[in-house]
Amino acid sequence: MLEIDKAGNTRQALHIDPLRMCQPIGAIYAALGVQACMPHSHGSSGCCRYHKILISKHFQKTIRVTSSMLKENAAIFGGEENLKAAVKTIFDIYKPQIIAVHSTCLSETIGDHVSAILSEIELPTGKYLVSAQTPSYLGSHLTGYANMVEALLDQLAVRSELKRKKCFIIPGLVNPSDIREIKEIAASFNGEFTVCPDISDVFDAATPEKQDEYSPGGTPLSEIIAAGSCELVLALGAEAAGAPAAALSEKCDIPFATLDLPIGIEATDRYIRQLQLFFGSAPLVELKRQRAQLVETVMNCHPLLYKKRAAVFCDPDIAVPLCEFLAGIGMAPAFVFTGPASGELDDRLQEIFRRYETKGVVQSNTDLFELEQYLNNETVDVLIGEVHGKHLARRLDIPFVRMGFPITDRFIHPYFPIVGYRGALRILEMLLNAILDRADRDRAAEELSFML
Amino acid sequence: MACRGLAMSPISDVLVITHGPVGCAYFSWDNSRAQEVGRQGSLFASRSFSTAMTENDVIFGGEQKLALAIEEAVALFQPPAIAICATCPVGLIGDDIDKIAQLAEKKFGITVIPLACEGFKNVPGYKVADLKIVDEIFGSKSRAAEEFSINIVGEFYTGKNKQEIDALFEQIGYHVVSALMGVTTIEELRSGHTAALTIVGSDKAIDDVVQSIEEKYGIGWIKVDFTGLSNIIGSLRDMADYFGDQALKERTEAAIKDTVKGLMPQLLAYQERFVGLTAALFEDCFKSDHFLAMLVDLGVEVILISQDYARNEVTDEGFLGTFPRQLSKRWEEYVLFNELSPQQENDRSLTFLLSRSQVREFLELLGPDLCFSGITQQFEYDEKCIKSRTFNSEERGVQYAGVQGFLQFAQDLEMSIFISHWETDVPEWERDITAGELLC
């Protein structure tokens, strides 16, 4: 019963242990990456509350999100009044520079036209309103993230004929430490660039104490408005950043490229190469040092990881470069399970498998239970994924490396990156620790050694 | 989602299907706190079941998908009962979950409970679920009524708390029939009507439910609170008084004596450590009540209870500040000077409506040793060098109810006082950049 049917999955309707969240949480995540921005959920209070809790628990830090608190009467007569009143109250009390409104299942189903309602509001000078459509019954949290970033760029960026040698980087949904790493690599070229959304110094900064205070981080509004003058748009992660990059490219007539999140050696190489070609500078000493250190470590430890089988259940944007890294260092990403992903996911992974002569089961738009059924038939050496794999790891007694969003049962992890060469080093450490801890646990006392 | 998380997930043998988009099921997934340690059948609560509605389902209706999902759940897990939680879109497009539930009951011969707990409903989800259970599950199995049998209504009856309370009740001679929002099974709930008393200890607006139990089944109820030693003792005595049985009263006093005796050495040590300590509470009203009770037991003086529920019409925000009369010397002058008149008063305390700046001034005036800052951190405690701490026990997976919870609280309080100086300390190298001697 709990093993997978050899004929394949027979479930049609019941979704067990989801691998995806819904759009609004992605929209909130993105909106918080804008300076002095208040994310606003146009829906019932429950939605906003749960998103807030999950993000807060991932970062172990309080965040603020406002809600229209739609109730029964709004469901019947529409939520227009609530939204208008909310916007006024938010500007009065919390004094943000911008409110980023996203819709929910409720407001989408009753047919509230959020952007039309917002256009009727008279804005105080210097204040902005942006809205994104994010019904939860479509796509995943990554879609919501993409929709919110696209809305910000589409509704704020101004087309400019005057271009300057500046790169507009749109990162996917990652931790603040990853954004720092992305920025640090870009900064090493001494050129101009903007990262949007930028959650560093937001999710890893001290929580503001006053009601109308905001974290020091976030992309400044002026940078978003000036996006039209950039010469290149760089999306890092196809699912979360691809669509907004394409939209900005079209709106402001800027060439764009979609790269993987720079996770692992090759994806980081490609990111650096792209920046190098754009800024036209020589290879950098510090990056060379980091890469050499990483490669040396890989050469030292890869015998311990060779042919170790991994089951990966992350966001597709993380899964692709991560599996490339795993395959590249000799591991076998035997199962790659993700939430909804574009058709490219399978092609990309199959190409990686061919390149490194390994095989794996790739499933998108699936759930964790199906992975569990597969694993009941043939197990793996390590699980890599977000916190909800915890029960799975316990049931099947497999070492578990937490990666991605959300990780709500551990501290400090958002402060260390998984992107860049340094991030790859950390991934290696996490994998080795998990696998070696297990090996030590399973060894008889007389077999324990202080060496490997 | 409050329906699934609070009310349904502690019922360990019910498989809950969230009929709606996947997010609703995802965010209400983790309900481990509601599970009893070591109880069989908690298989379902570690999983998340939903119909993962898509746009198509919203347009064309999700009834068929729900019916199929129930069928698949029965085939995979054979649960004795299934609950269906409705979500916003389901209520709006009008899926008839009652009909689907009835059909499924007939088809599979199990109990299927449809719950109209859409997120936009004015009635909170836990109440929808509990009323449904009282109306339809209670009374569906007859069972000989036992002496001193009780129903428990409240979130406190979960996890390790439950073990402790069970032991205490067994010693006194109470028999727990079933629990709402606490750990129980569907079988236990079926004979919920046979209890002689309902005890209510909830932080939720749940009075309708206990009244409904009283009206339908003639079961009386009393409020209890198992947070803080005095509250525990008071609650046990109230319960014994309700039954009025002499032997029961004696067993209650014996149990209280045992509890106090076991706790005394630690309690005295803590009280000694906390002598002269003052605290201010900025938590919501339920938490404030609990913390107040425990702080009083521990000998800590609470000099201000502030809640931001009251919205002042003029300033758009306001705080209700409660001050104890016995410490009136410290705040009397300010009150007279500012011509504040009390909103409420009783023989122990006075409550004033205050503005933000007035609360700030009070903080400065009273200088509490520790602020219970609440989850929203409304004041700049650090600037005034006041220690503050969020006492959110759930975040660390601990509970403050029961005797063990009380000790946990005392320990948390102790560590807050001794660790939180990091918040207010400024390192020497930042305080003073010129003076000082080089070590060499």
pLDDT digits (tens, 9 = 90+) for A136-152: 999 999 999 999 999 99
So what's the pLDDT on residue B237?
97
Tell me how close the Cα of B89 comes to any Cα of chain A, in angstroms: 6
Domain, as residue range, for B121: 2-137
| Distance in angstroms (rounded) separating the CA atoms of residues B215 and A218 | 56
Average pLDDT over residues B235-247: 96
Phi, psi of A382 (to 5 degrees): -155, 145
Regarding whether B127 and B164 lie in a shared domain, the answer is no
Average pLDDT over residues B19-38: 77
Contact status of A5 with chain B (Cβ, < 8 Å): no
A34-59 confidence digits (pLDDT tens) = 999 999 999 998 888 889 989 988 99
Domain tally, chain B: 3
Q: Establish if B435 belongs to a structural domain.
A: no
The answer to whether B66 contacts A50, with C-beta atoms less than 8 Å apart, is no
The closest CB to that of B52, out of A18, A50, A75, belongs to A18
Residue ranges covered by each domain of chain A: 23-156, 166-279, 285-446
The answer to whether B65 contacts A13, with C-beta atoms less than 8 Å apart, is yes
Same CATH fold assignment for domains A23-156 and A285-446: yes
Mean of per-residue pLDDT scores for chain A:
94
Superfamily of domain A285-446: Nitrogenase molybdenum iron protein domain (3.40.50.1980)
Query: Is pLDDT above 80 for A8?
Result: no
Write the CA distances from A422 to A64, A177, A184, A436, integer angstroms.
Answer: 31, 11, 11, 21
**How many beta-carbon pairs below 8 A join chains A and B?**
142
A268-290 confidence digits (pLDDT tens) = 999 999 999 999 987 789 999 99
So what's the pLDDT on residue B336?
83
Residue of B nearest to A5 (CA): B76
B405-425 confidence digits (pLDDT tens) = 999 999 988 888 877 677 677
Query: Which chain A positions have a beta carbon within 8 Å of B376's beta carbon?
Result: 62
The answer to whether B89 contacts A105, with C-beta atoms less than 8 Å apart, is yes
The answer to whether B53 contacts A72, with C-beta atoms less than 8 Å apart, is no
The answer to whether A136 contacts B2, with C-beta atoms less than 8 Å apart, is no
Query: Is pLDDT above 60 for B34?
Result: no
So what's the pLDDT on residue B221?
96
The answer to whether B76 contacts A14, with C-beta atoms less than 8 Å apart, is yes
* pLDDT band, residue B35 (cuts 50/70/90): low
Interface of A with B in 363-392 (CB under 8 A): 369, 388, 391
Average pLDDT over residues A29-37: 97
So what's the pLDDT on residue B165?
93
* Domain harbouring B190, CATH code: 3.40.50.1980
Regarding whether B12 and B132 lie in a shared domain, the answer is yes
Give the CATH number of domain A166-279; options: 3.30.559.10, 3.90.1150.10, 3.30.300.130, 3.40.50.1980: 3.40.50.1980
What are the CB-based long-range contacts (under 8 Å, 24+) for A286-295? A286/A188, A287/A185, A287/A188, A287/A421, A290/A420, A290/A421, A290/A422, A291/A265, A291/A421, A293/A421, A293/A425, A294/A265, A294/A421, A294/A422, A294/A424, A294/A425, A294/A428, A295/A265
So what's the pLDDT on residue A378?
93
The closest CB to that of A22, out of B23, B58, B65, belongs to B23
Query: Is pLDDT above 70 for A266?
Result: yes
The answer to whether A62 contacts B377, with C-beta atoms less than 8 Å apart, is yes
Q: Establish if B432 belongs to a structural domain.
A: no
With 0-12 CB in 10 A as exposed, 13-18 as middle and 19+ as buried, what is A318? buried
B173-184 confidence digits (pLDDT tens) = 999 999 999 989
The closest CB to that of B52, out of A15, A43, A62, belongs to A15
| Distance in angstroms (rounded) separating the CA atoms of residues A36 and A28 | 13
Residue found under tokens 């004596």: B257
The answer to whether B122 contacts A71, with C-beta atoms less than 8 Å apart, is yes
So what's the pLDDT on residue B127?
93
Query: Which chain A positions have a beta carbon within 8 Å of B119's beta carbon?
Result: 43-47, 106
Regarding whether B408 and B300 lie in a shared domain, the answer is yes
So what's the pLDDT on residue B312?
46
A295-322 confidence digits (pLDDT tens) = 999 999 999 999 999 999 999 999 999 9
Interface of A with B in 73-92 (CB under 8 A): 74-75, 89, 92
So what's the pLDDT on residue B29?
86
Find, among B13, B9, B12, the residue nearest to B110 by Cα. Answer: B13
Q: Establish if B342 belongs to a structural domain.
A: yes
The answer to whether B22 contacts A136, with C-beta atoms less than 8 Å apart, is yes
The answer to whether B51 contacts A13, with C-beta atoms less than 8 Å apart, is yes
For domain A23-156, the CATH architecture is 3-Layer(aba) Sandwich (3.40)
So what's the pLDDT on residue A226?
96
Domain boundary among B197, B228, B257: B257
| Interface predicted TM-score of the whole assembly (ipTM), two decimals | 0.94
So what's the pLDDT on residue B314?
46
What percentage of residues in chain A have a pLDDT greater than 90?
88
What percentage of residues in chain B have a pLDDT greater than 70?
90
Query: Which chain A positions have a beta carbon within 8 Å of B395's beta carbon?
Result: 57
Tell me how close the Cα of B83 comes to any Cα of chain A, in angstroms: 14
Regarding whether B224 and B179 lie in a shared domain, the answer is yes
Query: Is pLDDT above 60 for A181?
Result: yes
Q: Establish if B96 belongs to a structural domain.
A: yes
A316-365 confidence digits (pLDDT tens) = 999 999 999 999 999 999 999 999 998 889 999 999 999 999 999 999 99
Mean of per-residue pLDDT scores for chain B:
86
String of b and e for B135-168 (b: at least 16 CB within 10 Å)?
A: eebbbeeeeeeeebbbbbbbbbbbbbbbebbeeb
* pLDDT band, residue B7 (cuts 50/70/90): confident
A163-179 confidence digits (pLDDT tens) = 999 999 999 999 999 99
Tell me how close the Cα of B35 comes to any Cα of chain A, in angstroms: 14
Regarding whether B172 and B82 lie in a shared domain, the answer is no
Q: Establish if B17 belongs to a structural domain.
A: yes
Contact status of A11 with chain B (Cβ, < 8 Å): yes
The answer to whether A21 contacts B22, with C-beta atoms less than 8 Å apart, is yes
Regarding whether B101 and B15 lie in a shared domain, the answer is yes
Average pLDDT over residues B310-323: 64
Question: DSSP string covering B133-151, please?
Answer: IIIIITTSS--PPPTTEEE
| Better pLDDT: B356 or A99 | A99
A218-245 confidence digits (pLDDT tens) = 999 999 999 999 999 999 999 999 999 9
The answer to whether B17 contacts A14, with C-beta atoms less than 8 Å apart, is yes
